[in-house]
C-alpha cells in the first residue's frame, strides 16, 4: 500500500461530492436541495476564508479514499500546536489501516515541515478503532473533555490524545519502513 | 478591598485602549507584540467588544469603578464546536490577583455564557503551576480533565497546561 497526502485537485471533486451529498451520511436531508456544485466543493476543500484549517486528500494506490484535516486556530491552538483529524469516506475502506497510516503521515508532516511542538488528535472515547490506531502510532491519551459536542449523558465527550515533539523524534525513527 | 470590592463586566470602550495596551506592554509573555499591526488589532477587538466577533466575546472587568482587566470567551471557527467556549482572563494589576476579582469576574462571565450564549460546555487552560487560577476554577465548579503536555510556548520553553471544563449540568447544579 502506498499512502500519500496531497492538496485536492478538481478531478477529486466527484468523490468529495459523493460523500458530502450521501443521504446515508447526511440523513436524507439534502435530497430536496441541489447537490453541491464544483464551486461549493472547491470552497470547502480549499477552506476558502478559513486560514486556520487545512484539508488534504488521502490517496491510497492512486485512489482518493478520505480526507485529512489540520486545525490550528489561535489562541485555542497556541503557536505550533496542531489538531489533526482523518475521515475515511467509504465504510468499505475502513479496517484496512488507511486511517492509521494517514494519521502517521500527517503527524510526520506536521512535525517535519511545520515545526510542530505538539500534535493533538481528539476522538470519541467509544471509537476503539481510532484510539488503537493513535496508540499504535505513539499518541498518549491525556484526558476526557466532557460534553464537547451536544449529546445525552457521556455522548459528546472527547478524549484528547497528543504527541510531543520529543516523542515524535523518538518514535519516528522507526517510521521510514512504512513510508 | 479584596473582599468588599464590587466587580462587574462591561463592553470595552475606545477610552480603555490605553489601559489595555499598557497592560499588554508590561506583560512578560513571549507573544506580547508591540507592533502597529498589534495595536490596530487591539483597537478592532475593543470596537467589537460586547458581541461575538471573529470567534471572540471580549468584555472589560471593572472593580470599584476602575478597569481592572479583560475576560474573553473564544470560539474560533473550526477551533471549537458551537456551544463550547474557552475562557481567557487577564487581571492587569498582579497585586490584585488572588483578591477575588478574577473569581467574581469568572463567575459572572460563566453565568452570561450559559444563560445568554447557549453554552453547553466552558473550558479553560492554565499553566500547571498556576495554583491561584486552578483554585478559582475548582471553586467555581470546573473539573480537572487532563494535562496537555508541552502545550504553551513561553520564554523558558514549552509548558504543560491543565484543561478544566464545566458542563451546563454541573453549572446548574452549583446554583
Question: How high does pLDDT run on average in chain B?
Answer: 91
- Find chain B residues with C-beta within 8 A of A74's C-beta: 76
Distance from CA of A145 to the nearest CA of B (A): 6
The predicted-structure confidence for A61-75, as pLDDT tens digits, reads as follows 999 999 999 999 888
- Note whether B14 contacts A: Cβ–Cβ < 8 A: no
Q: Looking at chain B, which residue has its C-alpha nearest residue A158?
A: B145
Rounded CA separation B49/B42 (Å): 10
Q: What percent of chain B has pLDDT over 90?
A: 74
Query: Using an 8 Å Cβ cutoff, are B155 and B28 in contact?
Result: yes
Instruction: Assess whether pLDDT exceeds 50 at residue B2.
Output: no
| Domains of chain B, CATH where assigned | 7-174 (3.40.630.30)
Contact B80 A76 (CB under 8 A): yes
Which pLDDT belongs to residue A30?
44
At residue B63, φ and ψ (nearest 5 deg) are -125, 125
| Residues B139-160 pLDDT 10s | 999 999 999 999 999 888 999 9
In this prediction, residue B27 carries a pLDDT of: 75
CA distance A56 to chain B (A): 16
The alpha-carbon gap from A143 to the nearest alpha carbon of chain B, in Å, equals: 4
ipTM for the whole complex: 0.85
Q: What is the CATH number of the domain that holds A54?
A: 3.40.630.30
Contact flag B145-A165 (C-beta cutoff 8 Å): no
What total number of domains does chain A contain? Answer: 1
Maximum separation of any 2 CA atoms in chain B, in Å: 46
Please, which residues have CB within 8 angstroms of residue A128's CB and are 6 or more apart in sequence? Answer: none
Residue-number span of the structural domain to which A42 is assigned: 3-178
Cell of A24: 446515508
Contact A162 B79 (CB under 8 A): no
User: Are A52 and B78 inside 8 Å of each other by CB?
Assistant: yes
A132-A138-A143-A146 Cα dihedral, nearest 10 degrees: -50
Q: Which of B79, B143, B145 lies closest to A76 in CB terms? A: B79
Substitution target in B41, B141, B146 with the highest count of A β-carbons within 10 Å is B146
**pLDDT tens for residues B66-112?**
999 999 999 988 889 889 999 999 998 767 655 689 999 999 999 99
Are B77 and A148 in contact (CB < 8 Å)?
no
| Chain B residues near residue A140 by CB distance under 8 angstroms | 149
User: Per DSSP, what are the bridge partners of residue B90?
Assistant: B70
Amino acid at each position: 500500500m502506498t499512502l500519500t497526502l496531497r492538496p485536492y485537485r478538481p478531478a477529486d471533486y466527484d468523490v468529495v461530492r459523493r460523500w458530502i451529498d450521501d443521504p446515508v451520511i447526511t440523513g436524507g436531508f439534502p435530497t430536496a436541495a441541489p447537490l453541491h456544485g464544483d464551486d461549493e466543493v472547491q470552497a470547502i476543500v480549499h477552506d476558502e476564508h478559513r486560514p486556520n484549517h487545512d484539508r488534504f486528500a488521502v490517496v491510497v494506490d492512486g485512489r482518493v479514499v478520505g480526507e485529512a484535516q489540520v486545525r490550528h486556530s489561535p489562541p485555542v491552538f497556541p503557536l505550533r500546536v496542531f489538531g489533526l483529524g482523518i475521515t475515511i469516506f467509504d465504510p468499505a475502506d475502513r479496517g484496512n489501516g488507511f486511517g492509521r497510516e494517514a494519521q502517521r503521515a500527517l503527524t510526520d508532516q506536521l512535525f517535519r515541515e511545520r515545526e510542530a511542538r505538539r500534535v493533538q488528535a481528539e476522538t470519541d472515547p467509544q471509537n476503539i478503532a481510532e484510539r488503537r490506531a493513535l496508540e499504535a502510532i505513539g499518541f498518549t491519551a491525556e484526558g476526557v473533555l466532557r460534553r464537547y459536542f451536544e449529546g445525552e449523558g457521556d455522548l459528546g465527550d472527547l478524549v484528547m490524545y497528543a504527541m510531543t515533539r520529543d516523542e515524535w523524534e523518538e518514535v519516528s525513527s522507526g517510521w521510514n519502513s512504512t513510508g | 478591598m479584596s473582599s468588599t470590592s464590587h466587580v462587574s463586566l462591561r463592553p470595552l470602550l475606545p477610552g480603555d485602549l490605553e489601559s489595555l495596551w499598557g497592560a499588554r506592554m508590561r506583560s512578560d509573555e513571549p507573544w506580547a507584540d508591540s507592533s502597529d499591526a498589534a495595536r490596530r488589532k487591539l483597537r478592532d477587538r475593543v470596537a467589537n467588544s460586547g458581541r461575538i466577533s471573529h470567534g471572540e466575546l471580549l468584555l472589560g472587568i471593572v472593580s470599584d469603578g476602575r478597569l481592572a482587566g479583560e475576560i474573553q470567551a473564544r470560539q474560533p471557527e473550526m477551533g471549537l464546536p458551537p456551544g463550547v467556549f474557552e475562557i481567557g482572563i487577564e487581571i492587569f494589576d498582579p497585586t490584585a490577583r488572588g483578591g477575588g476579582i478574577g473569581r467574581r469576574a469568572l463567575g459572572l462571565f460563566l453565568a452570561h455564557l450559559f444563560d445568554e450564549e447557549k453554552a453547553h460546555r466552558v473550558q479553560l487552560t492554565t499553566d500547571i503551576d498556576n495554583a491561584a487560577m486552578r483554585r478559582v476554577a475548582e471553586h467555581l465548579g470546573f473539573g480537572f480533565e487532563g494535562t496537555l503536555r508541552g502545550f504553551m510556548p513561553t520564554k523558558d520553553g514549552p509548558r504543560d497546561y491543565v484543561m478544566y471544563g464545566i458542563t451546563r449540568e454541573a453549572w446548574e447544579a452549583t446554583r
